[in-house]
Amino acid sequence: MQRKDFVVGSALSVAFLGGNASQALAQVASGSPQLPSFGNANDPDNVLVVVQMGGGNDGLNTVIPWSDDQYHRVRPQIAVADGQILKLNDRIGFNPALKGLNELYKQGRVAVLQGVGYPNPNRSHFESTQIWETASPDRPQQYGWIGRYLDKRFPLNAQPPSMFEAVSLGDMLPAALVASHVEVPAIGALNAYGYNTGRDLASKQSAGVLYDGAKAGQSPYLSMIATTARDAYHGGDLLRKQTAEFTNKATYAPNGFAQQLALAARLIGSSAGAKIVFVSIGSFDTHAGQRAQQDRLLGYLGDGLLAFYTDLAAHGLADKVLTMTFSEFGRRVAGNASAGTDHGTAAPMFILGGRVKGGIYGDHPSLTDLDHGDLKFATDFRAVYATVIEKWLGRDPSDVLGGAYPTLAFV
Amino acid sequence: MQPPKIDTTTDPQVGFRPPGTLDAATALQPYDGRFGTRHAAHLLRRAGFGGSDADVAHLASLGMGGAVDSLLHPTTPDADFPAYPPSDKLYDIKVSHPVAQYWWLDRMLRTQHPLVEKMTLFWHNHFATSINKVPAQYMCGMINLFRDQGLGRFPVLLSSVTRDPAMLIWLDNRYNAKAHPNENYAREVMELFALGLGNYTEDDIKEAARAFTGWSIDAHQQAVFIPARHDDGQKTVLGHTGPLGAEDVIAIIVSQPVHQRFLAHKLLEFFVYSDPEDELIEGVAQVYALSGFDVAKTVGTILRSNVFYSTRAYRAIPKSPIELAIGTLRYLGAQTIPANLVYQLARMGQEPLNPPSVKGWDGGPTWINTTTLLARFNFVNGLIAQTAPGKNGQPAVPAPNVAPDDMVQRLGMDAAKVAAAIVSGVVQDDVTSDVRATIVAYLNSQTPSTTVQNPVPFGPENYQDKIRGALALTLNLPVNQLD
């Protein structure tokens, strides 16, 4: 019989086949002293935070199949030593850099989804990122999966309650958030977002007079532009005013990712009222010298997410926020000659939050039954999106994803 | 009876041309009304990237026909531009993207044949390919193709695109072989490049894909046709049957009235307005078909037409980020592209050589949202504030055309005159009187400015900063976001 990782089913009923998973099971159970309140899983106030791990994160050195000799055999230069691995059960464990995430896992707040991917995997950063962000492996899609969700949620005549309903923390709007009519601001930094005239205050004031007084005229687009200019002009001040209402109650490291999460917490917890926040960390494109780079980034990731969760919990918001990670692809099973790995396929995703049913979902992909040297996926990423859309955001996922996918039990 | 006096400062559109209906029969007839500064500026924005006061005045002096001819058939040679970026950089993966992007932006800025470059941009969006999949040297090659053939006959252009290495890579047609057909290119030819959704069947795509088999890229980075990979069997595409090849399918496609309307619609959207009437589309389609699918003749008809100079077309199209950025730099007389322009353009939503998908950029109103508008405004504010020499030894950007010293020498230390000159130059007076008053008030404001210790009204101590500030305010007006 093929060994299986234990699988958390509905509620806290746990099914596993073979293996000694009782210890990990006990951890999950003890970390979840109260049964989550499933009745309001799709509360309209629920918040989704998406973490993009850009560059293609090596899944095998993230969730490590430590007891599989093949892992050590094919990765002589970059395998993590057994003694350092944060073991989740008798088969798999976290990269030691993920100690922050491991804390949350032990509290039962983290779902580890194994072997996530899609058919006919594309190994180009650009194309596979487009595929993940538009949820469309077969055809180019104009709008992102979250953009399509927002368009459904807020039809043309139903404006979102806040101009920061959905935000991207970064200078560029990722494809995932491109919508047909719902606007998603891209906020690089709190102080940079706004109409900037340096020290020429008079110019800034005059611009305000001009935008506030702008007349529509007859040109079909002029009034739309004038209104948007007014919102843009005041948006920066509004953002600073609203986010100032919220004080972070956790210590975030001084790296860019952690700082994005600190701002995310303020956007979520203040009257800015963000419901979708997109953050990113990278680059995980570790073709050479992987250990130093990936371990550093995984450290930022795990510690940042722990601080974020701690902050939200201190504000009573942990149950309102679900955080999901993704990367455009995993990496090859075998290491390359430069102590790195090249582009691969399936990889794990993490889902965390106060109402997430922690545990391990799906089997670790086989390291020997491969497709062109790459892992075979077991769970289609669109099933993960469908689960989030239906069970967390309370919408019909087939509307957004253009098809039906089985939902998973992590929420 | 005296016609009512129209105050052109009360509405951007009033006074450009008397409002009224335009019937389809005369919409495409040559315009024979007044051709002044605003008409010339309108033409230069649509058929180019805008320009300085002097550029507009020159165009206006040629009259409508002469102005269009000068853009469509330039008689003087263009400035010297390298055919490709330096090869040591073009083939260096670390720098090849920006090198190719700046190579093209430089040409957009400095070319004296702006319509040629504008059509190059049009085709780059139409046959959208991205540097994210296609190596930079092929992207440059494709831009060169659009420049060489973009005003020629469409079937020739489509044929060249079909065998262009960038396109062979972008839509995988290099893998399209008899033994394993790949429909990607055939599908986009029909959906995006020539016919539009709903005007063909899935069978047409399958059959056309077979006709497009056999192309590859050889060791010299040239497209090559490999007969053994080509499917020379019978195929039926859009009702035509035979051992069709790529050229046959292209001929079949362009002969479809639906193709002629498809391309007419796209040209009208780009040059005239975003929602052209069916009659207008039909009229342009006829011109296009009668011209033998000649792009220059079709575009020429559009640029000379009554409808092009109608109130409905004036300030009717949101500027793309590239149009805004290049237009601003040209107005200011800049001769070099700012070092961070590609990044700025990406923030505005249009990184050159990197459209978001095979559909290109949506354009129109989708250019405008709070994030992209802030990116536009802060691009202008940053540009205007650059008084010191630029980075890497490049000259400072705001350049000769609007030098504050010249302006004050010409107009005197007079806030109202300076404001009038700026508003006239940047937006051809398409502002209400309170906008003008706000600019004058800014010039005279006594709020602390960049370098002024003791704030005073517009005068010798502060005119340099104030003129720059007034330029930024005017460039950032909502009406200047419209072409």
What Cα–Cα distance (Å) separates residue A306 from each residue in A102, A107, A261, A292? Answer: 9, 11, 10, 21
Convert the pLDDT of each residue in A41-94 to its tens digit: 667 789 999 999 999 999 999 999 999 999 999 999 999 999 999 999 999 999
Note the pLDDT of residue B73: 95
Q: Give residue A259's pLDDT band: very low, low, confident or very high (50, 70, 90).
A: very high
Looking only at the bridges linking them, the beta strands covering A321-326 and A14-15 are: unpaired
Per-residue confidence (pLDDT) for residue A15, from 0 to 100: 33
Asked if residue B457 lies in contact with residue B415, where contact means CB atoms within 8 angstroms, the answer is yes
The whole-number pLDDT of residue B399 equals 54
The per-residue pLDDT for range A271-283, each reduced to its tens digit, is 999 999 999 998 9
Instruction: Determine the length of chain B.
Output: 483
- As a dihedral over the C-alpha atoms of residue A194, residue A195, residue A200, residue A205, rounded to 10 degrees, the angle is -110
Asked whether the predicted pLDDT for residue B201 surpasses 50, the reply is yes
pLDDT at residue B299 tops 80: yes
pLDDT category of residue B23 using cuts at 50, 70 and 90: confident
d(Cα B403, Cα B424) in Å, to the nearest integer?
Answer: 16
Q: Cα–Cα distance between B337 and B390 in angstroms, integer?
A: 10
| A178 and chain B in contact, CB less than 8 A | yes
**Partner-chain residue, chosen from B359, B441, B445, that has the shortest CB–CB distance to A140:** B359
Task: Tell me, yes or no, if the pTM score tops 0.80.
Answer: yes
User: What pLDDT is stored for residue B56 in this prediction?
Assistant: 97
Are residues B465 and A200, on separate chains, in Cβ contact within 8 Å?
A: yes
Measured between CA atoms, how close is B446 to chain A, in angstroms? 8
User: What pLDDT does A190 receive?
Assistant: 87
Contacts of A130 in chain B (CB under 8 A): 357
For residue A386, which of A368, A402, A363, A369 has the smallest C-alpha distance? A402
Q: Which of the 8 DSSP states describes residue A81? A: P
The mean predicted confidence, pLDDT, of chain A is: 88
Q: Sorting pLDDT into bands at 50, 70 and 90, what band is A3? A: very low
Burial of A30 by CB count in 10 Å (0-12 exposed, 13-18 middle, 19+ buried)?
A: exposed
Tell the residue number behind the tokens 């930079």, with chain if given.
Answer: B136
Average pLDDT over residues B89-108: 96
Chain B positions in Cβ-Cβ contact with residue A224 (cut-off 8 Å) = 365, 368
pLDDT at B398: 55
Average of per-residue pLDDT across B424-430: 94
Which chain B residue has its CA at the smallest distance from A235's CA?
A: B370
The H or E element spanning position B217 is: strand B215-217
Which of A182, A203, A223 has the highest number of chain B CBs within 10 A, making it the mutation to test binding with B? A203
Tell me which chain B residue has its CA closest to the CA of residue A170: B347
Nearest-CA distance B111 → chain A (Å) = 30
Domains of chain A: 7-193+238-401 (3.40.720)
What pLDDT does residue A79 have? 97
Q: Do the Cβ atoms of B111 and B325 come closer than 8 Å?
A: no
Candidate from A198, A222, A236 with C-beta closest to B478: A222
Q: Which whole-number Å values give the CA distances from A99 to A87, A94, A96, B281, in the listed order?
A: 11, 8, 6, 63
Q: By three-state DSSP, how is residue B235 classified?
A: strand
Largest CA distance in chain B: 84
| The one-letter amino acid at B6 | I
Q: Which of B356, B381, B434 sits opposite A196 (nearest CB)?
A: B381
Alpha-helix runs per DSSP H in A244-349: 256-269, 290-314
**For the segment A134-172, what is each residue's pLDDT rounded down to a tens digit?**
999 988 788 999 999 999 999 988 889 999 999 999 888
* Partner-chain contact A219 B315, CB within 8 Å: yes
Of B317, B381, B438, the CB nearest to A206: B438
Beta pairing class for A166-168 and A276-281: parallel
Which range has the top average pLDDT, A13-17, A41-45, B221-225, B457-461? B221-225
Task: Supply the pLDDT for residue B170.
Answer: 93
Sequence-distant (6+) residues with CB within 8 A of B82 are B103
Q: Return the ∠ at Cα A148 (arms to A146 and A153), rounded to 5°.
A: 95
Q: State the residue for tokens 């002469």.
A: B66
Q: How far apart are CA A140 and CA A390, in angstroms?
A: 24
Q: Is B195 exposed, middle or buried (0-12, 13-18, 19+ CB in 10 A)?
A: buried
d(CA A242, CA A240): 6
pLDDT given at position B359: 86
Q: Write down the pLDDT at residue A189.
A: 85
Report the pLDDT value the prediction gives residue A16, as an integer from 0 to 100: 32
A126 burial via Cβ count (<10 Å: 0-12, 13-18, 19+) = middle
What confidence category does residue A22 fall into, taking pLDDT thresholds of 50, 70 and 90?
Answer: very low
- Break chain B into its structural domains and give their ranges: 321-481
Q: What is the mean pLDDT of chain B?
A: 90
User: Is A28 strand, coil or helix?
Assistant: helix
Q: Do B346 and A172 touch (CB under 8 A)?
A: yes
Residue B446 has pLDDT above 80, yes or no: no
Alpha carbons B449 and A103: distance in angstroms, whole number: 52
B129-177 residue pLDDT tens: 999 889 999 999 999 999 999 999 999 999 999 999 999 999 989 999 9
pLDDT digits (tens, 9 = 90+) for B334-385: 888 988 999 999 999 999 999 988 889 989 888 998 999 999 999 999 888 7
pLDDT of residue B336: 87
Q: Is the pLDDT of residue B266 over 80?
A: yes
d(CA A143, CA A158): 19
Task: Identify the pLDDT of residue A297.
Answer: 97
**Dihedral Cα A318, A117, A373, B180, nearest 10 deg:** -160
Condensed to tens digits (0 to 9), the pLDDT of residues B202-237 reads 999 999 999 999 999 999 999 999 999 999 999 999
Of B52-61, B118-127, B446-455, give the lowest mean pLDDT range: B446-455
CA distance A223 to chain B (A): 8
Which of A127, A171, A190, A197 is the best residue to mutate to test the B interface, defined by the most B CB atoms within 10 Å of its own CB?
A: A197
Task: Yes or no: say if A160 and A178 are a contact pair by the CB < 8 Å rule.
Answer: no
Task: Name the residue of chain B whose CA is nearest to A230's CA.
Answer: B370
Provide the H-helix boundaries in B178-318.
Answer: 184-188, 202-211, 246-254, 257-271, 278-290, 295-304
pLDDT band at A4 (very low <50, low <70, confident <90, very high): very low
**Which pair of tokens denotes residue B40?**
């010339």
Residues 28-67 in A contacting B (C-alpha not used; CB under 8 Å) = none
* Chain A residues 300-359 with a CB less than 8 Å from chain B: none
Give the separation between CA A8 and CA A28, rounded to whole angstroms. Answer: 10
Cβ–Cβ gap B469/A207 under 8 Å: no
Q: What mean pLDDT do residues A300-312 have?
A: 98
Minimum distance, in Å, between the CA of residue A232 and any CA atom of chain B: 4
**pLDDT in the model for residue B455:** 59
Is A248 part of the contact surface with chain B (CB cutoff 8 Å)?
no
Chain A 251-270, residues with CB within 8 Å of chain B CB atoms: none
CA distance B312 to chain A (A): 8
Dist. CA A359–CA A9, nearest whole Å: 9
Question: Does the CB of A194 have a partner CB in chain B at under 8 Å?
Answer: yes
Out of B318, B362, B448, the one facing A225 most closely (by C-beta) is B318
Residue A181 pairs in a beta bridge with none
| Residue of chain B with shortest Cα separation from A204 | B473
A378 touching chain B per CB within 8 A? no
pLDDT tens figures, B373-420:
999 999 999 888 775 444 454 545 555 577 888 899 999 999 999 999
Residues of B in contact with A226 (CB under 8 A): 478
How far apart CA A326 and CA A217 sit, in angstroms, is 46
CB contact under 8 A, A140 and B357: yes
Q: Does A156 touch chain B (CB under 8 A)?
A: no
Return the pLDDT at A159: 85
Option in A126, A219, A235 nearest B482 (CB): A219
Give pLDDT, residue A93: 98
Residue with tokens 């056309």: B208
Q: Do B381 and A211 lie within an 8 Å CB cutoff?
A: no
Residues A342-401 have pLDDT tens digits of 999 999 999 999 999 999 999 999 999 999 889 999 999 999 999 999 999 999 999 899
The predicted pLDDT at position A14 comes to 33
Shortest Cα distance, chain A CAs vs residue B159, angstroms: 24
Cβ-nearest to B469 among A193, A200, A226: A200
Query: Which chain B residues contact residue A194 at CB under 8 A?
Result: 374
pLDDT at B22: 66
| CB proximity list for A81: less than 8 A, separation 6 or greater | none
Smallest CA–CA separation between B24 and chain A, in Å? Answer: 21
d(CA A64, CA A102): 13
User: Residue written as tokens 């469409």?
Assistant: B154
| Statement: residue A241 has pLDDT above 70 | yes
Mean pLDDT, residues A229-252? 95
